[in-house]
Amino acid sequence: MNNPYAHPSLAANVAANERALFIQRTYNHLAGAVLAFIGISFIIQKTGLAVTLTNTMLGSRASWAVVLFAFIGISWFAENWARSSTSRETQYMGLALYVVAQAIIFVPLLYMANNYANDPQIIAKAGVTTLTLVAGITFVAFTSKKDFSFLGGFLRVAGFVAFGFIICSMIFGYHIGNVFCALMVLFAGGCLLYDTSNVIRHYRTDQYVAASLALFASIALMFWYIIQMFMSSD
């Protein structure tokens, strides 16, 4: 049986120095994506644009549904561009598009956390918590000799279930509680473990832009639900 990962430029199959360079590039791009997200979010929150976007995006259940599906569509295009094998510029366009899309969909959540939460440090605390979990999961992925790519099928099913639950909550108007948020943080952690394992073993060494996007997506998802948990407990 042919091994679908048996490619000479996969991270698992190259020399240690080449693998190290690929991993360094991946995490440099991830750091750049995180800093860009923080910068864009800061600018939006410090201007009247945050109020306008929040009122528009949360004007009704239908408007938030449009935003959610638009984000899914944009994410699909961004991920495909980031995986482009024909143009490095297209890869960077995909990563940039995805970071901007994440910054925009975060606007209402960050606005409410900034203006309605009793704890003014709630975003900072959520950020530190997210970074702590990311560091722990990354440590496990890099120090374990286990290949976590087997999680892919389970994560896809869990993702569809979670998305269905979210859609139902929008249709019927029931509140997503802390238990669901905690499960989504766990799900995001599983995605990060899966993605990090793939960075170590299954990405091609020229796919550091796509790899950084995958890691950023999992971290953003984790941050989103940690903020919601902190706000619910506030």
pLDDT (mean) for 49-74: 90
pLDDT tens-digit series, residues 97-128: 999 999 999 999 999 999 888 888 999 999 99
Nearest to 171 by CA among 72, 68, 74: 68
The angle that helices 208-233 and 88-105 make with each other, rounded to 10 degrees, is 10
CA 226/CA 123 separation, integer angstroms: 9
CA 234/CA 225 separation, integer angstroms: 14
* pTM of the predicted protein model: 0.91
The pLDDT score that the predictor gives to residue 234 is: 61
pLDDT (mean) for 171-182: 79
pLDDT tens-digit series, residues 124-155: 999 999 999 999 999 999 999 899 999 999 99
The pLDDT score that the predictor gives to residue 41 is: 96
Q: What confidence category does residue 86 fall into, taking pLDDT thresholds of 50, 70 and 90?
A: confident
Q: Which residues pair with 10 in a beta bridge?
A: 204
Q: What is the mean pLDDT of the chain?
A: 90
Q: What confidence category does residue 1 fall into, taking pLDDT thresholds of 50, 70 and 90?
A: very low
Instruction: Identify whether the C-beta of residue 40 lies closer than 8 Å to the C-beta of residue 100.
Output: yes
